[in-house]
């Protein structure tokens, strides 16, 4: 069983979601399929696909104009929430500290957080990839986690770029994350790979040791491609 999560980012209409859910409902798969959609598309009662959000407030309630709480996400039908995506870290200055508070909130609200970590090209060139992802994992998670969480390794330089790290690079990064999680008492936490996953490369990627599935951006918007990804991940 692999986890196949789509990240729609700021894309999609209700009609698009209907079409995608219809396409996925025809697929026979053992894989767990998750679609993380904009807040306005969250809905409950969908079969075959778990619906997730893409962000969560670090606060439970109150005077935080524009924010959406974990309880609200749950009520709207979300089961999962992406936390600390690189676009949130980049454009909204989310630090590991903020990400950790959001992960805590997600867990308290009964949501499974999909926590994103990954190095920039600059950090990669400086040979800092392993240090960066290790500290991101350690600092982005609360110390006392007992519930389900999912980690997504998303090298920032490969997101939306049409290029992926080599098999060895993915294997090495996932090993560092798996070891860090193990040290934190979180053995068995699924680790997804994300960034430029497509129907052609998904089979090779999910065959890599410690890769528990994929987080898919662009290709998750196209029903044919996303369905092929779900079917090809074994």
Catalytic residues: 85, 154
Q: Provide the 8-state DSSP code for 77.
A: T
Quote the least distance from Cβ 146 to ligand PGA, whole Å: 27
**Alpha carbon distances (Å) from 84 to 19, 40, 154, 215:** 28, 20, 11, 13
3-class secondary structure, 57: coil
Task: Please provide residue 187's backbone torsions phi and psi, each rounded to the nearest 5 degrees.
Answer: -55, 145
Residue closer to ligand PGA by CB (options 107, 114) is 114
Quote the least distance from Cβ 60 to ligand PGA, whole Å: 27
Residue closer to ligand PGA by CB (options 75, 132) is 132
User: Among 174, 160, 155, which Cα is nearest to 9's?
Assistant: 160
Quote the least distance from Cβ 199 to ligand PGA, whole Å: 12
Quote the least distance from Cβ 61 to ligand PGA, whole Å: 28
**Cα separation, 124 vs 118, whole angstroms:** 10
**Cα separation, 208 vs 223, whole angstroms:** 25
**Cα separation, 101 vs 26, whole angstroms:** 38
| Angle between helix 14-25 and helix 223-232 axes, rounded to 10 deg | 30
How far out from the chain centre does Cα 186 lie? 17
Instruction: Specify the length of the chain in residues.
Output: 234
Quote the least distance from Cβ 144 to ligand PGA, whole Å: 28
Binding residues (CB under 6 A) for ligand PGA: these are 7, 154, 159-160, 194-197, 215-218
Task: Please provide residue 70's backbone torsions phi and psi, each rounded to the nearest 5 degrees.
Answer: -60, -40
Residue closer to ligand PGA by CB (options 160, 203) is 160
Residue nearest to ligand PGA according to CB distances in the complex: 217
CB 156 within 8 A of CB 194: no
């Amino acid at each position: 069983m692999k986890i196949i999560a789509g990240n729609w980012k700021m894309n999609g209409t209700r009609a698009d979601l209907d079409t995608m859910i219809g396409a996925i409902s025809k697929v026979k798969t053992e894989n767990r399929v998750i679609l993380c959609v904009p807040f306005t598309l969250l809905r409950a009662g969908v079969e075959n696909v778990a619906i997730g959000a893409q962000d969560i407030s670090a606060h439970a309630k109150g005077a935080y104009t524009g924010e959406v709480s974990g309880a609200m996400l749950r009520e709207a039908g979300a089961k999962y929430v992406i936390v600390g995506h690189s676009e949130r870290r980049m454009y909204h200055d989310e630090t590991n500290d903020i990400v950790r508070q959001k992960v805590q909130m997600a867990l308290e609200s009964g949501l499974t957080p999909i926590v994103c970590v990954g190095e920039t090209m600059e950090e990669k060139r400086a040979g800092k990839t392993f240090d960066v992802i290790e500290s991101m994992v350690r600092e982005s998670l609360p110390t006392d986690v007992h519930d389900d969480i999912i980690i997504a390794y998303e090298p920032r330089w490969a997101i939306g770029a049409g290029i992926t790290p080599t098999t060895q690079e993915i294997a090495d990064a996932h090993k560092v994350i798996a070891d860090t999680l193990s040290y934190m008492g979180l053995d068995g936490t699924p680790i997804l790979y994300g960034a430029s996953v497509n129907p052609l490369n998904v089979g090779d990627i999910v065959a890599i040791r410690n890769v528990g599935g994929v987080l898919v951006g662009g290709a998750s918007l196209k029903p044919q491609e996303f369905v092929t990804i779900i079917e090809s991940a074994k």
